[in-house]
A and B are shown apart, each in its own frame.
Chain A
């Protein structure tokens, strides 16, 4: 600014010098000093005009006038507080939802893993059937070995397994800390090299530590584990801990920054391969590879495709039909990974859906602000025309508009940032805990930068549209005071388009939200078949090698002897839990209630022909053959969960291995197999092991739903856990290692956890109480994403509808104000208020109808992306579409009510005198 003042002073001095020289010249030519001064000043012209013109050309001049315009803008906004508030809030809401979702998107999708050069890391998904390239999964060990040894595009290939082999018990230490369940990750020795993350201390695994069937008892622990359990002991390396009752040596500690597997994994162990895995085509392993420098994903894909042909030729039993898909780590990280390590869904789709919804809200907000500014411009046409008439340049008027909308944009931006901050806090507080990288979600500078960009762009847009309209003004008409000029009609048409567009976008959002609400309602209205309120569960699981041993083969699968001590331990825990104060009843079941799809077993009814057994399809029989869900329970299970006993009796303490084997079946099974006879007393044989004896049906219970999102009724058979078969077949033998205990309690269930742990430790202090939670928490987990999306889309829909309502209100109010005189004349000529209402209503009706039609078409096209997120509702559900349209129309009617009533209440005498 000092520079400008110097230029000003210099100009003054220059002008003075000019005049002095001129006057001197004229005097020299013979004029009198007075006359010379007069002539000089006359032929110089206006000093002020010269000063102004010179200033206009000065780059700093623009800034100064701009600031003046900004101040003027702030002042005029203060005069129109209602307008300013509506506009700034519209903007703020749009910015806030955008920022919140962008922050989430950024952390969940765009953030890089904390590994060396993540751009070169790829995930190799298994394509089980090359004809269906979209279905991907995890890979078998033979494929891992083949890629590791033979693929040429990669520096190295690593594998990690799901938690199946990784859920372990960190047992009794020398220091006497009680056993606890910790979750580990089994990894190939090459994995840490692939990721390029060295350990903080010690070393990672060698190939010699991962020999098939002879895994070394060594682990690498996470930094969190080192802090939490070992208090950062510097001499941790070489320490021996008991893992699954095996003495195991800690050989390394990972750095705190290593979060590739999230923060629930507390240790890493070698893959613990078995001979069976090495020759199996069964998957379970996620493969990660590091591309050679310069190699591309396309090259790697071609390389693996060629390799697949070669593998299929050399070992068809293992590799036939299988393909591989190479995907960047970035993309793969957006996938939802289920407990078995399988990609089960895609956060990407959900987040992109939210991003789309947010874009809609921002558009609606922008349209609102533009509409409000347009209305304000209409009110200022006389002022603008006057300015133009007085010689202001179009550019100058436009600049003024820009300057005036800047404070609006800044205020909207600031409120928007505050709202975003609050919104993110709310999201973090309500989001499901397994949302990726939730702990790092925060407003960061880039997000703020993005917001600033949005604000700047929006304000430019808002400024320029009304200014273009304003500079289009005919100079004379507005000055004459006529309110019905052609440009006025243009402007109204633009505003109406904006409002119809808003209506359409709001309808798309409302329908999306409606579909989510509908899905959610469907899910929670499913009949559970039990009363889960106040029931606590936990998992009690013994080490596998203590529980079963390989005994041979049966029908092409491994046959295992099950240690009878396991069932006796479960029974002792069951007995002990009955006496814990606060426990009303306690029982146990071998598969978690509402835990998803349970294990099914084939069975034969005594006196009926057995269905053909096909060993080719699966370990426990083909789908669609005579199968039932398999549950082993203690006495009191049905009473504890509130499952009604329809017929017969519950199990009791006499149902031991020494007595007649018994079963209880569910209603569906009774209906399907014993429709015309009494199920009680029928004999059923479970067709899973050799020498299985028939079991007598002693009761029928109500059906239990497998979860919130499942309402199919499937046959189920319950047997006393003490009467389970002494042998078991195939991989499902793992269900014999533990039981889920269920406890009906008085008061808050989680409060009992410490006394329950103590009671269990009295029976077995080496096995921890793990995963303690209420049944309601389990049920809630099924619908957590549904709830989250419903909540978010609901908020967006509500905001959108509110903004659209403001928009249509503004247009209708403006319309009524403009037509006051016309309406006055009509009423003076005898039109009744009712007719005026109809006239105004028709105007509003056209707007709403146009918006609804466009919105319905848009929703039909766009809600298809919701397909995978919906439950029990089609994306084109007519009821939701009708409901959304009706709701929006209702909101619009309410918004139009005030202006319409104002129109009907116009007093002709006053209206005609106006203007």
Chain B
């Protein structure tokens, strides 16, 4: 996929993606970055670095928690996992996201919605 086809993330969506990524279990920063990229089939452009301020933000908000652990190839890495609060927030945000997408789609392609 060419670089031009990649989509810059909307503000706030990165947080949602991070939370979604952690649904299936704890991951370290690199793991989260690659998961987002792979599951979006490389359509989303994520600067790996931009993950870290987001992680910090989410941790402050109590939506995720972190602890040091060991990665697959025996490196020390920080692992992030969803908190109960994070799980609730993810459900809410996903719901909102879907509503918004439907609404935007209805405006952009009215015949589809009808």
Measured CA separation A43–B77 after assembly (Å): 19
Measured CA separation A13–B78 after assembly (Å): 9
Measured CA separation A267–B58 after assembly (Å): 75
Measured CA separation A49–B71 after assembly (Å): 26
Decide: A17 and B47 in contact? CB cutoff 8 A. no
B73 CB, min distance to chain A CBs, angstroms: 6
Measured CA separation A13–B66 after assembly (Å): 14
12 additional A-B pairs beyond A18-B48, A43-B48, beta carbons within 8 Å, are A17-B77, A18-B77, A21-B73, A25-B30, A44-B49, A45-B49, A50-B49, A53-B50, A53-B52, A53-B53, A54-B53, A57-B53
Cβ-neighbour of A21 out of B49, B50, B60, B71 (below 8 A): B71
Name the residue on A nearest B78 (C-beta): A14
Using known A-B contacts A17-B78, A57-B57, determine if residue A22 contacts B52 with beta carbons closer than 8 Å: no
Interface residues of B in 18-63 (CB under 8 A from A): 28-31, 33-34, 47-50, 52-53, 56-57, 60
B3 CB, min distance to chain A CBs, angstroms: 11
Measured CA separation A22–B28 after assembly (Å): 12
Decide: B52 and A54 in contact? CB cutoff 8 A. yes
Cβ-neighbour of A44 out of B47, B73, B75, B77 (below 8 A): B47
Decide: A17 and B28 in contact? CB cutoff 8 A. yes
Chain A residues proximal to chain B, CB less than 8 Å: 10-11, 13-15, 17-18, 20-22, 24-25, 43-47, 49-50, 53-54, 56-58
Cβ-neighbour of B53 out of A24, A47, A50 (below 8 A): A50
The residues of B that contact A47 with a CB separation of less than 8 Å are: 49
Decide: A21 and B47 in contact? CB cutoff 8 A. no
Q: B84 contacts the other chain (Cβ, under 8 Å)?
A: no
Q: B76 contacts the other chain (Cβ, under 8 Å)?
A: yes
Chain B residues proximal to chain A, CB less than 8 Å: 28-31, 33-34, 47-50, 52-53, 56-57, 60, 71, 73, 75-78
B63 CB, min distance to chain A CBs, angstroms: 13
Measured CA separation A24–B48 after assembly (Å): 15
The residues of B that contact A53 with a CB separation of less than 8 Å are: 50, 52-53
The residues of B that contact A15 with a CB separation of less than 8 Å are: 49, 52
The residues of A that contact B30 with a CB separation of less than 8 Å are: 17-18, 21-22, 25
Measured CA separation A58–B29 after assembly (Å): 18
Decide: A25 and B50 in contact? CB cutoff 8 A. no
Measured CA separation A15–B52 after assembly (Å): 9
Decide: A14 and B50 in contact? CB cutoff 8 A. no
Decide: B48 and A22 in contact? CB cutoff 8 A. yes
Decide: A14 and B48 in contact? CB cutoff 8 A. no
Name the residue on A nearest B50 (C-beta): A45
Cβ-neighbour of B29 out of A14, A24, A45, A49 (below 8 A): A14
Residue of B33, B49, B73 with highest tally of chain A CB at under 10 A:
B49
B37 CB, min distance to chain A CBs, angstroms: 9
The residues of B that contact A20 with a CB separation of less than 8 Å are: 75
Interface SS majority for chain B? helix
A61 CB, min distance to chain B CBs, angstroms: 11
Measured CA separation A22–B32 after assembly (Å): 12
A894 CB, min distance to chain B CBs, angstroms: 58
Cβ-neighbour of A46 out of B28, B49, B57, B60 (below 8 A): B49
Can you show 17 pairs from A to B with CB atoms below 8 A apart? Answer: A10-B78, A11-B52, A14-B77, A15-B52, A17-B76, A20-B75, A21-B31, A21-B71, A21-B75, A43-B47, A44-B49, A45-B47, A45-B48, A45-B49, A54-B52, A54-B53, A57-B60
Decide: B50 and A50 in contact? CB cutoff 8 A. yes
The residues of B that contact A13 with a CB separation of less than 8 Å are: 76
Measured CA separation A43–B75 after assembly (Å): 21
A43 CB, min distance to chain B CBs, angstroms: 5
The residues of A that contact B48 with a CB separation of less than 8 Å are: 18, 22, 43-45
Decide: B73 and A24 in contact? CB cutoff 8 A. yes
The residues of A that contact B53 with a CB separation of less than 8 Å are: 50, 53-54, 56-57
The residues of A that contact B73 with a CB separation of less than 8 Å are: 21, 24
B15 CB, min distance to chain A CBs, angstroms: 12
Decide: B78 and A58 in contact? CB cutoff 8 A. no
The residues of A that contact B76 with a CB separation of less than 8 Å are: 13, 17
Residue of B48, B57, B73, B78 with highest tally of chain A CB at under 10 A:
B48
Measured CA separation A205–B57 after assembly (Å): 75
The residues of A that contact B52 with a CB separation of less than 8 Å are: 11, 14-15, 50, 53-54
Name the residue on B nearest A58 (C-beta): B56
The residues of A that contact B57 with a CB separation of less than 8 Å are: 57
Residue of A14, A24, A25 with highest tally of chain B CB at under 10 A:
A14
B51 CB, min distance to chain A CBs, angstroms: 8
The residues of A that contact B33 with a CB separation of less than 8 Å are: 18
Measured CA separation A50–B47 after assembly (Å): 10
Measured CA separation A20–B56 after assembly (Å): 21
The residues of B that contact A58 with a CB separation of less than 8 Å are: 56
The residues of B that contact A49 with a CB separation of less than 8 Å are: 49
B65 CB, min distance to chain A CBs, angstroms: 15
The residues of B that contact A56 with a CB separation of less than 8 Å are: 53
Measured CA separation A13–B77 after assembly (Å): 8
Which 5 A-B residue pairings sit nearest by Cβ, starting from the closest? A45-B49, A53-B53, A45-B47, A50-B49, A21-B30
Name the residue on A nearest B71 (C-beta): A21
B42 CB, min distance to chain A CBs, angstroms: 11
B7 CB, min distance to chain A CBs, angstroms: 16
Measured CA separation A11–B49 after assembly (Å): 11
B58 CB, min distance to chain A CBs, angstroms: 10
Name the residue on A nearest B73 (C-beta): A24
Name the residue on B nearest A56 (C-beta): B53
Measured CA separation A11–B50 after assembly (Å): 13
Measured CA separation A10–B77 after assembly (Å): 10
The residues of B that contact A50 with a CB separation of less than 8 Å are: 49-50, 52-53
Measured CA separation A56–B57 after assembly (Å): 10
B96 CB, min distance to chain A CBs, angstroms: 23
The residues of B that contact A46 with a CB separation of less than 8 Å are: 49
The residues of A that contact B78 with a CB separation of less than 8 Å are: 10, 14, 17
Measured CA separation A331–B35 after assembly (Å): 75
Measured CA separation A46–B53 after assembly (Å): 13
Name the residue on A nearest B31 (C-beta): A21
Measured CA separation A77–B31 after assembly (Å): 50
Measured CA separation A20–B48 after assembly (Å): 13
Name the residue on B nearest A53 (C-beta): B53
Measured CA separation A432–B48 after assembly (Å): 77
B48 CB, min distance to chain A CBs, angstroms: 4
The residues of A that contact B56 with a CB separation of less than 8 Å are: 54, 57-58
Measured CA separation A15–B78 after assembly (Å): 10
Measured CA separation A25–B37 after assembly (Å): 14
The residues of B that contact A45 with a CB separation of less than 8 Å are: 47-50
Name the residue on B nearest A20 (C-beta): B75
Measured CA separation A25–B35 after assembly (Å): 13
Measured CA separation A22–B71 after assembly (Å): 12
Name the residue on A nearest B46 (C-beta): A43
Measured CA separation A58–B31 after assembly (Å): 24
Measured CA separation A17–B51 after assembly (Å): 14
Cβ-neighbour of B28 out of A11, A21, A25, A57 (below 8 A): A21
Residue of B31, B56, B57 with highest tally of chain A CB at under 10 A:
B56
Name the residue on B nearest A13 (C-beta): B76
Measured CA separation A334–B72 after assembly (Å): 81
Measured CA separation A52–B102 after assembly (Å): 37
Measured CA separation A58–B60 after assembly (Å): 9
Measured CA separation A24–B77 after assembly (Å): 14
Measured CA separation A599–B34 after assembly (Å): 107
B11 CB, min distance to chain A CBs, angstroms: 14
The residues of A that contact B49 with a CB separation of less than 8 Å are: 15, 44-47, 49-50
Using known A-B contacts A25-B34, A57-B60, determine if residue A18 contacts B29 with beta carbons closer than 8 Å: yes
Residue of B30, B33, B57, B71 with highest tally of chain A CB at under 10 A:
B30
Name the residue on A nearest B57 (C-beta): A57
Measured CA separation A47–B60 after assembly (Å): 21
Measured CA separation A20–B50 after assembly (Å): 17
Name the residue on B nearest A47 (C-beta): B49
Measured CA separation A694–B73 after assembly (Å): 132
Measured CA separation A50–B76 after assembly (Å): 20
Decide: A17 and B75 in contact? CB cutoff 8 A. yes
B87 CB, min distance to chain A CBs, angstroms: 22
